[in-house]
Amino acid sequence: MRYGRPFILTCTYRLRAPPSSYSRFKSSSTRNTREGEHKDLRSFEAYVDRTGLNKASTVYRGTKYEYTAVDTLHRFFLNLQRQGGRDDLGIDLLGTWSLPTFIHPVNVLVSCKSNAKVALASWVRELEGAFAGDPRGPNHGRLIGFLVARGEATPGVRDALARSQLPLAFINITLEGNVRQIVWNAHVANMGLERVTPKIWNQELGTGDDIGEERTTVVLMENDQILDKVHGNRTDIS
């Protein structure tokens, strides 16, 4: 029995270079804006009402927490925009920090963690890796990375911040938007925060049903003055 010539199937693959960090970052941000049609907490809640997004989902909880962080950090002179998307390279918020003690605004990137009640040291390493994904380019000399989490910094988180060779800060923000802890390493302090310290402050509430009550929060102080954008650049409490 004679057999014909063997049939050989040849496949040719065209290798495509992976998209750059900037193109991936930009596309994810654009996709989120187009699909979500929201740019702040108010428009996001309207989007949720309109689309019926499940409020128990991780998408809802994570997105709401990121917008809450944007609003909360504004009083600390942080001007941020949410990025979002699955390919955000670990960067949830981007913007600048225009603290009055700075000569020039400092670029910042923020990673938000709302899914655990205790902050993890591994998140600090993830934040360090996010520096390489900053779409604005290699600004490491004037770039601060913020880790924002609903849980307080453990000793492991504090040690990881102190050991890092990058300027990193940690802020504990509750799901309701209250700041309970602010920590940064020496590299951040040397960028213009030598005389600025986070301190616990009993804030008197002046609106709604809670008028006259006090809420414990954290503020930034320079000497005896609170650095607060909501109540003016500097508030003397001495």
Three-state SS at 203: strand
Query: How far apart are alpha carbons 22 and 192 in whole angstroms?
Result: 29
Three-state SS at 42: helix
pLDDT tens-digit series, residues 188-215: 999 999 999 999 888 665 444 554 456 6
Strand segments, DSSP code E, in 152-210 are 168-173, 179-184, 196-204
Mean pLDDT of the chain, nearest integer? 81
Q: Do the beta carbons of residue 140 and residue 166 sit within 8 Å?
A: yes
Q: Tell me the residue type at 236.
A: D
85 CB-near residues (< 8 Å, 6+ apart): 27, 28, 29, 31, 32
Q: Which whole number is the average pLDDT over 83-88? A: 68
pLDDT tens-digit series, residues 93-118: 999 999 998 989 999 999 999 988 89
Element of type H or E holding 51: helix 41-51
pLDDT given for residue 109 in this prediction: 96
220 CB-near residues (< 8 Å, 6+ apart): 76, 99, 182, 196, 197, 198, 199, 226, 227, 228
Inform me whether the pLDDT recorded for 14 exceeds 60.
no
pLDDT given for residue 141 in this prediction: 61
Q: Tell me the residue type at 43.
A: S
Token pair for 24: 């991936």
Q: 237, 212, 206: which is closest to 222 by C-alpha? A: 237
Confidence at 18, pLDDT banded by 50, 70, 90: very low
Inform me whether the pLDDT recorded for 28 exceeds 50.
no
Token pair for 188: 């951040």
Q: Which whole number is the average pLDDT over 47-52? A: 92
Element of type H or E holding 22: helix 21-36
Query: How far apart are alpha carbons 114 and 112 in whole angstroms?
Result: 6
Q: 191, 190, 197, 187: which is closest to 222 by C-alpha? A: 197
Q: What percent of the chain has pLDDT over 70?
A: 72
The alpha-carbon radius of gyration of the chain (Å, integer) is 22
φ, ψ for residue 142, nearest 5 deg: -130, 50
pLDDT given for residue 136 in this prediction: 84
Query: Could you give the domains of the chain?
Result: 36-194 (3.40.1350.10)
For residue 151, CA distances in Å to 18, 74, 164, 173, 211 come to 35, 20, 20, 8, 27
